[in-house]
Amino acid sequence: DAKTTQPPSMDCAEGRAANLPCNHSTISGNEYVYWYRQIHSQGPQYIIHGLKNNETNEMASLIITEDRKSSTLILPHATLRDTAVYYCIVRVAGAAGNKLTFGGGTRVLVKP
Amino acid sequence: NAGVTQTPKFQVLKTGQSMTLQCAQDMNHNSMYWYRQDPGMGLRLIYYSASEGTTDKGEVPNGYNVSRLNKREFSLRLESAAPSQTSVYFCASSENVPTGELFFGEGSRLTVL
């Protein structure tokens, strides 16, 4: 699975959009980009995933660059409850039981 | 809908003691996983099971054994606990489809003295 690079931390103002970058320059053509988050010490929660097209759901938007070497997770209107560690993961979909390899993630602090 | 349930939520062991962490899911998922998370670190995969009757090693399997009892249950056993196994353990499950998301339990906090 391709390695990802994320900033270790970032702050965001409540009500503003939070843009979380992720670099995955060694991504292969059949690898998906997944985003999970972990609030405090709870179990991680799935947010969104994509292959090459931009994706949007009720939680967030995922923008993947045309060369697929980087992506951005967008939380459109950050709330205090979005304070969490966000993990960007790249893997081949369906390979060996869908197991995920977590890196260090980005610690996001949403401030009032 | 309970999702993924882990027991116990907290446990303190002495070095050398054994214990089993239990995990059950009610979503009829084929795949189940055990991860550990040390303080300030990301999650690391210990073992996973892609289907009932099969198990495979992850990144950090040493010191652990697993058992996929049936489709619902996946247990993690520490035969002789060591202080280095002090961690938070998370169980997860997913469907066996290419983009199946993982659903995680609330975690089991284990301290080995």
List the pLDDT tens digit at each of the 112 positions of chain A: 668 999 999 999 999 999 999 999 999 888 889 999 999 889 999 999 999 989 999 999 999 999 999 999 999 999 999 999 999 998 876 555 567 888 889 999 999 9
Chain B positions touching A32 (Cβ under 8 A) are 99
Q: How far is B78 from chain A (nearest CA, A)?
A: 21
**CA torsion, points A6, A9, A12, A14, in degrees to nearest 10?**
110
Higher pLDDT, B78 or B96: B78
Answer whether A41's CB lies under 8 Å from A20's CB: no
Q: How far is A41 from chain B (nearest CA, A)?
A: 8
Structure tokens that stand for A24 in this block: 């995955």
Q: Quote the pLDDT of residue B95.
A: 84
Integer CA distances (angstroms), A5 to A8, A11, B63, B106, in order: 9, 18, 30, 27
Judge: B98–A93 Cβ closer than 8 Å, yes or no.
yes
Q: Note if the bond before A21 is cis, omega within 30 degrees.
A: no
Which residues, at least 6 apart from B94, have a Cβ–Cβ distance to it below 8 Å?
A: A97, A98, B29, B30, B31, B33, B100, B101, B102, B103
Q: Exposed, middle or buried: residue A73 (CB in 10 Å: 0-12, 13-18, 19+)?
A: buried
Judge: B102–A98 Cβ closer than 8 Å, yes or no.
yes
Judge: A100–B45 Cβ closer than 8 Å, yes or no.
yes
Task: Examine the pLDDT at B68 and tell me if it is beyond 60.
Answer: yes
Q: Which chain B residue shows the shortest CA-CA distance from A93?
A: B98
Q: Quote the pLDDT of residue A15.
A: 96
Between chain A and chain B, the number of residue pairs with CB atoms below 8 A apart is 67
Helix (H, G, I), strand (E, B) or coil at B28: coil
Sign of torsion over alpha carbons A62, A65, A71, A75: negative
Judge: A43–B59 Cβ closer than 8 Å, yes or no.
no
